[in-house]
Amino acid sequence: MNAAPFLATLAPRRIVVFRALQLGDMLCAVPALRALRAAAPRAHIALIGLPWAQTFVERYADLIDELIVFPGAEGFPEQPETNRDLPAFHERMRARRFDLAIQLHGSGGIANDLLLQFGARAYAGFVQPREPRRDGVFIEWPDELPESERYLALMSALGAMPEDRRLSFPLGGSDGDEYAAIAATHGIEAHRLVLVHPGAQLPSRRWPAERFAEVADRLAADGWQIAITGTAAEASLTGAVLGAMTAPALHVAGTTSLGGLAALVAHARLVVCNDTGISHIAAAMATASVVIASGSDTRRWAPLDHARHRVLADYPPCRPCMFRECPYGHPCALNIGVDQVVETARAQLAEVRGACPAAPYALHAPAAAEPVEEFHHAA
């Protein structure tokens, strides 16, 4: 007779999940969090995350009950790497008397060392191949699996069997209101809207701005409405794309909240972007995308639906890549040409139900005496 699943035997009332990472990483953990909640519907589930994740917890209130802000530690580069506040943090964790602490942060090592200081009744997570065995439910890091499937493998080991493996990003009423306001202000026509998102947190993950501009120009020439998206901090980058374009484009970078951006993605017909958080939002919204992978492991990070989301990459897995021109002579995403991206985008758009471009726009160079800005509808 098989033993009862671990979670059923433990019957935890207080669970803490450690995953102090950025948006794209958090979205990839949503299927695992969904499985955990289904297996422990009455448990109080807390997330140890970065400060920004308060908005994540609020959006996924059906999965997570509370955010505990991680103070940072040596070896965790998402924040200043200092152990200054770690002793007090561990003391607070021990005082909470968690029944189960789950390490969803990464492959093991120092993340496990940190987790095991929480004083929980039981622990779960991943171990690296040569890492000492840990007490609790620790599985070997499944390096061959896509990112979201890795965390579902741990949930399965705990007895939280996944029923829905899809990413999700729930939209609220305020997100719809924000989209409506943006659409009215910029004259968005959803049936022919293509989003171009040139940013990424790491500079090494960014395809050149001038190439994004050329892709945008050629899609605009086909009759698609182009909107350039990004954060306020990426204004110089999105502005560079806009300034290099000849065709009209909407510049909505820095004008949306995360929910407003997701609503914009939900209404668009295609997203063209780097391998970054918005690619996971497109996957969650089931919006077609063309993802240009620069120095990232596409086996790990590519969306599971390979038909709706086309990932273009031409490089060996040299991570992290810190060079714009490889000193070793390796091919990389800089070798992904504009023609390849444009043709892939056109093929994706041809498959999208309800997508309908306007009459083709005739590209033309601006007259020498006229400022470039006159050729764009920038916000």
Q: Residue 124 carries which side chain, given as an amino acid letter?
A: A
54 Ramachandran zone, left/alpha/beta (phi>0; psi -120 to 50): alpha
pLDDT digits (tens, 9 = 90+) for 281-303: 999 999 999 999 876 666 666 66
Backbone phi, psi, residue 5, to 5° = -55, 145
C-alpha distances (whole Å) from 136 to each of 122, 266, 272 are 6, 41, 43
pLDDT digits (tens, 9 = 90+) for 330-359: 445 457 889 999 999 999 999 998 888 987
Architecture of the domain spanning 173-378: 3-Layer(aba) Sandwich (3.40)
Beta strand pairing status for 289-292 and 193-197?
unpaired
Tokens 């009950």 belong to residue: 65
- Model confidence band, residue 374 (pLDDT cutoffs 50, 70, 90): very low
**Same CATH fold assignment for domains 6-158 and 173-378:** yes
What per-residue confidence (pLDDT) applies to 293? 85
What per-residue confidence (pLDDT) applies to 241? 96
DSSP string, 290-316: EEE-SSS-HHHHS-S-TTTEEEE--S-
C-alpha distances (whole Å) from 273 to each of 24, 186, 211, 350 are 13, 21, 11, 18
As a whole number, mean pLDDT of residues 135-157 equals 93
Backbone phi, psi, residue 255, to 5° = -105, 0
**Domain boundaries in the chain?**
6-158, 173-378
What per-residue confidence (pLDDT) applies to 355? 87
Q: Does domain 6-158 have CATH number 3.40.50.2000?
A: yes
What per-residue confidence (pLDDT) applies to 296? 61
User: How many residues are there in the chain?
Assistant: 379
- Model confidence band, residue 24 (pLDDT cutoffs 50, 70, 90): confident
Nearest CA to 170 out of 311, 33, 269 is that of 33
Query: Cβ of 354: how many Cβ atoms within 10 Å?
Result: 8
HSE (CB half, 13 Å, CA atoms) of 258? 17
User: What pTM did the predictor assign?
Assistant: 0.82
pLDDT digits (tens, 9 = 90+) for 154-166: 999 999 999 889 8
What per-residue confidence (pLDDT) applies to 276? 84
As a whole number, mean pLDDT of residues 270-288 equals 92
Q: How far apart are the first and last CA of the chain?
A: 66
